Chain A
Amino acid sequence: MTEATDLAERAGDRDPRIGLRAVSALRRLLEQLEAVQVRSARNQGWSWQEIAAELGVSRQAVHKKYGRQ
């Protein structure tokens, strides 16, 4: 019981705002990195199917996101 309380207190020492901001920033960074890689793959002649397979998503999902030209 005391151990659990200690753990909870220690976890509470960290300001959640910092961690949440990091997650949000990471998500945006991830989006940018994905766009760079998808664009690069398309420029090298990859099909949407091939890109989707590598990203682990459906062909429709990746085409809907990046397909409009």
Chain B
Amino acid sequence: MFERFTKDARAVVLGAVEHAERMGAETVEEGHLLLSLLDREGSRGSFALASLGLDRQKESVKEALAEVRRRGGLSRADADALSGLGIDVAEIVSRVEETHGVGALGGDKKDKRWWSGHRTFTRGAKDTLEKSLRIAVGRRDRHIGDEHILLALTVLPGVAAEALADHGVTYETVTRVLYGGGEAKAG
């Protein structure tokens, strides 16, 4: 699959690993893919994000992802589902932080060696890359570019999709700026 990735798409994947390493995260997640995508310049994906005004809102997206990390990587939909069971995620986060410090649940390690070693991609991150392939195939694009990774991030439910949607970046808006209006959703 990776031989069909463009230089930009590969850079997004490698950048995601670097983001995970820098944060001392054990695994590479969709959030890291999104952070890496925000770093790109002059690519199809960065063009789409800039067209939607996200180049000026990078910090806001990063803050949204940091907030998710703080509650242990749970998306808003996860937190809502847990609240249905009577579990208040915000309350748990605040109790844990009282005892163990801010960011404790997100795995902010004072000692970065705690999670040293090889980083694997989470199920969600793997799904994102597979979905980007399927979207490219569905569009009959011969290569998988970072714009396909962006589309995959918007379409798979999770923390990245929520952060993007909060900033007006959805499958529909991205396809509109990339390919023009009125497109049906790809498989």
Name A's B-contacting residues (CB within 8 A).
18-19, 21-22, 24-26, 28-29, 32-33, 35-36, 39-40, 68-69
- Given A29-B89, A36-B100, check contact A21 B105 (CB 8 Å): no
B116 touches A33 (CB 8 A): no
In the assembled complex, the CB of A63 is this many whole angstroms from the nearest CB of chain B, namely: 14
User: Hey, which chain A residues are within 8 Å of B99, CB to CB?
Assistant: 40
A26 touches B73 (CB 8 A): no
B96 touches A33 (CB 8 A): yes
B74 touches A36 (CB 8 A): no
Q: Mark B147-169, 1 if CB is under 8 A from A, else 0.
A: 00000000000000000000000
- Choose the segment among B47-55, B76-84, B131-139, B172-180 that binds chain A (4+ C-beta atoms closer than 8 Å): B76-84
Name B's A-contacting residues (CB within 8 A).
72-74, 77-79, 81-82, 84-85, 87, 89, 92, 96, 99-100, 104-107, 109, 113-114, 116-117
B104 touches A21 (CB 8 A): no
